Chains A and B, each alone.
Chain A
Amino acid sequence: MNTPADLRYTRTDEWVKVEGNIATIGVTDYAQDALSDVVFFEAVVSVGDEIRAGDHIATLESVKAAAEVNSPVTGKVVAINENLASSPELVNSDPYGAAWMLKVELSDPSETAKLLAPEEYDQYCQTRSH
């Protein structure tokens, strides 16, 4: 399992990359592996929307299951990855790169300190594997 050291994580398997006051959001390698082949992506928010941490921001469907993506942060949506709707398989092939989902302008950059560090997320995933 791949858990890049420069990202923060949630218990619902989203990752966040913070650059200045912009947070980029996607789902983790663990999530894409658990879902298997992703066949559908739909953002349920639009550019300009104000969202809060925990809000449902996108829906993923794989051949196994449907899953909700929740925002790890609070702020304003400034970009949505338009490629993902037509190429949802990017979530499997490049979860931390080409499969970024949303960029959010943070209303409180200190909020990301509450998210899981890479080693905490790894540990959390270990406990889930029964």
Chain B
Amino acid sequence: MPEPTIFELSSPGRTGVTFPTSDVPESPLPVDFLRSDLPLPEMSEVDVVRHFTRLSKLNYSIDQGIYPLGSCTMKYNPRVNEMVARFSGFTQTHPLQPLETVQGNLYLMYLLQEWLKEIGGFAGVTLQPAAGAQGELTGILIMRAYHVDRGDTRRTRILIPDSAHGTNPASSAMSGYEVINIPTDPRGNIDLNFLQSVCDDRVAGIMITNPNTLGLFDQNIIPVIQAVHRVGGLVYGDGANLNALLGIARPGDLGIDIMHFNLHKTFATPHGGGGPGSGPVGVAASLVDFLPGPIVSMVEEGDEDIPPFFGFVQPAKSIGRVKSFFGHFGMMVRAFTYIAMHGPEGLRKVAENAVLNANYLLARLRNTYHVPYDRICMHEFVLEGRWKEVPEIIALDISKRLMDYGIHPPTNYFPLIVHDALMIEPTETESKDSLDYFVDAMEKIAFEARTHPEWLKEAPHQTPVRRVDEVKAAKELVLCCQPIDRE
């Protein structure tokens, strides 16, 4: 690494701040809590600032260029969101404060719940889950609680299409369900015949990602949902790809019973180093009683003279709490701001432009790269990162070479149903100029693959760290942030 760790930079005795003489009586810490073996780095303030500034220059972020990481919706995070999140009314409050002193915070959470219900077509929303995968786990626990509450304990299976997000089978397995894999048909939709053959009263539900990880709107979505509902199962929608549908179609209206929202994707809160995420879950009316609690609610309506009073309520059959306090409040403020700044028409334009941008890239790249499921795409699409005439080049080489052009690589090797998949999601925030720059780089790389394959094999050449040894990284884990004793 061109930059040492902060522990390696440490020098005994250096300090960043000098405290004034205490003007209150000293109260020593209990002896039991004192440790002498605490190897914290010792540095001056300027050295800390320089260390992290250097690290930030080694990083790549959406503020530097296009970040077409498929299924991650790496859109630009507007500065106004950050400004609002820094209002002292938000930053100087604590979740344990008396309710009457944080009514503004609660009102924001209440309105965000209402807006997400409206956007997704749901009857209830919890803001607690910390991110998408925890939203999925929450949704599956709600699904189980619903069946068990009805005395329906035979259901042990969850159906997962092979074009779903990779976290879906993990969430199901973690909840103790058996995962049944559903294949994709030649058009890139859920294989309806196969689905119908496994729909029986052992099915707790299905987890659908729509648009799926091929970036295609599943044309079988209505019959799929009907088939699962007919046997008493519930339908979970993975909201990670909601950016394609905003203001155009509502998952709840399609018949989806449970869905998580990724505030850090669709609603532009920072992620990928800038996190944390936030994964609110919306549910249909039949599931509202099972939501995690407590949930912000208008506990007194108020009138002309008295404002409404907001507090917390516990849903009647709640699965309980899934997150300490009330979730990632700072992300809620940013998502609230994003939705407020766009309004309903603006949100619809987000989806329209995200889909337009992806289709523009697909149209321009189709002749250079093979598109295995080639039809009008939604907000993303999947190319094959390989050519028959240069068999030694794989998707990873193309991605590494893109870094030399100052572009973040797309998602590699997912979905698994496409060989050497390159999953590309430009998002709506890229201009035609930056999309053209991306296409030019992809075309140059396709040319280089034929003329100078070693340029791809040895890429990246221009980054602070060259090609990393992925096998070594996976096999020799170093779960330690302190320098390793190399003696």
Interface residues of A (CB under 8 A from B): 34, 36-37, 39-40, 61, 63-65, 89, 129-130
A130 to B413, CA, bound (A): 15
A-side contacts of B412, CB under 8 Å: 64
**Is the Cβ of B474 less than 8 Å from the Cβ of A63?**
yes
* Whole-angstrom CA separation of A37 from B471 in the bound complex: 7
Q: Contact between A129 and B419 (Cβ–Cβ < 8 Å)?
A: yes
B384 within 8 A of A: yes
Q: Mark B411-447, 1 if CB is under 8 A from A, else 0.
A: 0111010110000000000000000000000000000
- Nearest Cβ in chain A — how far from B216, in angstroms? 15
Instruction: Contact check, B370 vs A130: say whether CB atoms are below 8 A apart.
Output: yes
Name the A residues within 8 Å of B474 (CB-CB).
37, 39-40, 61, 63
Does residue B41 face the partner (Cβ distance < 8 Å to A)? no
Chain B interface residues toward A at CB < 8 A: 370, 372, 384, 394, 412-414, 416, 418-419, 470-471, 474-475
Q: A129-B419, A130-B418 are in contact. Are A63 and B470 (CB under 8 A)?
A: yes
Given known contacts A63-B470, A64-B413, A65-B413, A130 and B475 CB-to-CB distance under 8 angstroms: no
Partner of A39, one of B370, B372, B419, B471: B471
User: B371: nearest residue on chain A (CB-CB)?
Assistant: A130
With contact pairs A34-B419, A64-B413, A65-B416 given, residues A130 and B470 touching in the complex (Cβ less than 8 Å): no
User: Closest B-chain residue to A88, C-beta based?
Assistant: B475
7 A–B contact pairs at CB < 8 A?
A: A37-B474, A40-B475, A63-B470, A63-B471, A129-B419, A130-B370, A130-B418
A105 vs chain B, min Cβ distance (A): 26
Which of chain A's residues has its CB closest to B416's CB?
A65
CB distance from A93 to the nearest CB of B (A): 12
Q: Which residue of A lies closest to B186 (CB)?
A: A130
Query: Measured between C-beta atoms, what is the minimum distance from A27 to chain B in Å?
Result: 15
The 10 nearest A-B residue pairs measured at CB? A39-B474, A63-B470, A64-B413, A130-B372, A37-B471, A39-B475, A63-B474, A39-B471, A65-B416, A63-B471
Q: How far is the CA of A65 from the CA of B471 in the complex (A)?
A: 12
Q: Which residues of B contact A64 (CB under 8 A)?
A: 412-413
In the assembled complex, how far is the CB of residue B126 from the closest CB belonging to chain A, in whole angstroms? 30
Residues of B within 8 A of A129 (CB): 419
Are A130 and B384 neighbours in the complex by a CB distance under 8 Å?
yes
Given A39-B471, A64-B412, 17 more pairs with CB closer than 8 A: A36-B394, A37-B471, A37-B474, A39-B474, A40-B474, A40-B475, A61-B474, A63-B470, A63-B471, A63-B474, A64-B413, A65-B413, A65-B414, A65-B416, A130-B370, A130-B372, A130-B418
Q: Once bound together, how far apart are the Cα atoms of A39 and B394, in whole Å?
A: 18
Looking at the assembled complex, report how far the CB atom of B400 sits from the nearest CB atom of chain A, in whole angstroms.
13
> Contacts of A130 on B, CB cut-off 8 Å?
370, 372, 384, 418-419
Taken together as a complex, chains A and B put the C-alpha atoms of A7 and B465 apart, in Å, by 44
Note all chain B residues with C-beta closer than 8 A to A61: 474
* Chain A: minimal CB distance from B171 (Å): 15
Of listed A34, A39, A40, A129, residue having the most chain B CB within 10 A: A39
- Give the residues in chain B near A36, CB-CB below 8 Å: 394
Q: B423 → chain A, closest Cβ, in Å?
A: 13
CA distance A64 to B370 in the complex (A): 20
Contacts of A34 in B (CB 8 A): 419
Can you name the residue of chain B whose Cβ is closest to the Cβ of A61? B474
Once bound together, how far apart are the Cα atoms of A40 and B470, in whole Å?
13
Q: How far, in whole Å, are A61 and B471 apart by their CA atoms in the complex?
A: 11
CB of A44, distance to nearest CB on chain B (Å): 12
B472 closest partner in A (C-beta) = A39
- In Å, the complex CA distance between A34 and B470 comes to 16
Q: How far is the CB of B43 from chain A (nearest CB, A)?
A: 36
In the bound assembly, the distance between CA atoms of A37 and B372 in angstroms comes to 24
Closest residue of chain A to B370 (Cβ to Cβ) is: A130
**A37 touches which of B370, B418, B470 (Cβ 8 Å):** B470
Q: Given the complex, which residues of A lie within 8 Å of B416, measured CB to CB?
A: 65
In the complex, what residues of A have CB within 8 A of residue B370's CB?
130
A64–B384 Cα distance when bound, in Å, is 15
Complex contacts, B419 vs chain A, CB 8 Å: 34, 129-130
How far is A63 from B474 in the complex, measured between Cα atoms in Å?
7
In the complex, chain A residues whose CB is within 8 Å of the CB of B394: 36
Which chain A positions have C-beta within 8 A of B475?
Answer: 39-40
CA distance A89 to B416 in the complex (A): 21
Distance from B184 Cβ to chain A, minimum over Cβ atoms (Å)? 12
- Residues in B neighbouring A63, C-beta threshold 8 A: 470-471, 474
Minimum C-beta distance from B217 to chain A (A): 20
Report the minimal beta-carbon distance from A13 to chain B, rounded to whole angstroms: 12
* Bound CA–CA A107/B471 (angstroms): 39
Q: How far, in Å, is B16 (CB) from chain A's closest CB? A: 40
Rounded to whole angstroms, the CA-CA distance of A129 and B387 in the bound complex is 12
Contacts of A89 in B (CB 8 A): 471
CA distance A63 to B413 in the complex (A): 10
